[in-house]
Structure 1
Amino acid sequence: MRRAGLVVAAALQATAGSVRAGVTTADLDAVAAEVIRTSGATPSFLDYHGFPAVTCISVNSEIVHGIPGPRVLAEGDSVSIDCGAIVDGWHGDSAVTVQVGNGSEQARELSEATRLAMWHGIAAARLGGTVGDVSAAVEGFVRSWPTPYGIVREYTGHGIGSAMHQPPDVPNLGRAGKGPKIVPGLALAIEPMLTVGDPANSVLDDDWTVVTDDGSLACHWEHTMTVTEGGIWVLTSPDGGEAMLAELGAPFGSLAD
């Protein structure tokens, strides 16, 4: 899974680095596809329940599951890129949100709040703890942010391993101490989805793209992680999450530990 996670990290880095005005979302999908192909991995998303692309690319009021296509990005757009890869039957799954150009202050703040909520959720995981600890940490961080944001309930993080989606679900709202136990070998994809406005949402006629009902800006960040005896290991982060975990006072533990 670490090998798959590093492929995903490389694909996201290359794709995010290609975001600019005038590029289509299909162009971005092709960048991720090429990184995955040359790494000897297989895309997780392509043909998953009929999904037609390697990445999900969601723009502005699109929360998740946007289908790459002819849409041309414009200055100021907020772009979520979600990517998964398989190596030897094991999955990695991660997402980032970036701005076209500088973006708006509102979009940058929303993205930073979403990113940090994800990391606070990751840092709350521990062996013997529960999935609810992660959920409560995500929600608690968002509720403490100076700007009030909507938290999407209908779509959650998930277990991941030999399949992209496995039990348990990892909601972005919850109570500490509740839910399944975190045990050795459990890997989780933690992925908060926040909105500037009301988090109520609908699926478009393409049967995939999820959008805010009020048209407000949305954001999505995601990492795949696990907990070893030594501490937390973020499988889709190039450094394993070591730097951010240190900043948050959480233990880092790769297999080397």
Structure 2
Amino acid sequence: METDYKKLFYVGIAYGAYPQKGKKLKKTGLPVKKLEKEFSYLLGEGRMAVKKMCIYYALFPQYSGKALITGKPKNWKLQVVRQLLEEVQLKAERAFDCREQLLAQELSGNTLQVPQELIAACLYRQRPFDKICITLPDEGGEREMEQLEELLVPYLPRIRQVVFKGNESSLSNWLEEYLYDEFGIVMIRAQGGLEDMPWLNLGEDVTEERSQVHLEMKKALKRCVSPALALKFLDTAVKNGYNTDVNSYVKDNTGQTVGYTES
């Protein structure tokens, strides 16, 4: 049976990095690489129809170079950042047929739009499970219902318990009716996260870096699947894969964001 492959192109940030000596990215552009590891996922009808996701990526060095006299890191000009991003995204689409593309939040103006397939791949990594905790946005319509159904339906025939954590909404009411009518599952409502089951969190913005996260929440995060954590998983996978390849950047230990200047 032919495997259904999904291609995703991701541009991350190589923190504390400079372009390789002797190479001018404004002329050569960012190189596009393919992650050796592929990620399996289930999405939509067909519990046994496992799909595969191929990751293509580019890493943007945080600094454009070093000042000749002081040796301090030099920031990128904003127009150069935009030009390099446009060029590498076009290259990924034309050369590798990567129509689904994702930028690190710092490169996309902190807009978090994670493909459904990436969230599905993270949920697939939580297998096996026969119960699940779900958190939903306070607002949602038909599109959100369809996306939620796509994520859950491959697993629901074997699910014996669904716990809902969050505020009641039209979306949560729809889920409660859908689970009972289609699968005979009575949805349970709970306040705290449960450690012994995956937590599909499509509502709350939680990451391990938030200073207000309590110990109980950190334990729940180990099995949490959310858009923010899915993006973090992708970024880590890309950089781990990159570090096993030829090192294209000179490293420096300073800085947390891509530096650029307006002019």
TM range (shorter): under 0.3
Q: Which has the higher contact order (CA 8 A, sep 6+)?
A: 2
Q: TM-score with structure 1 length normalisation? A: 0.24
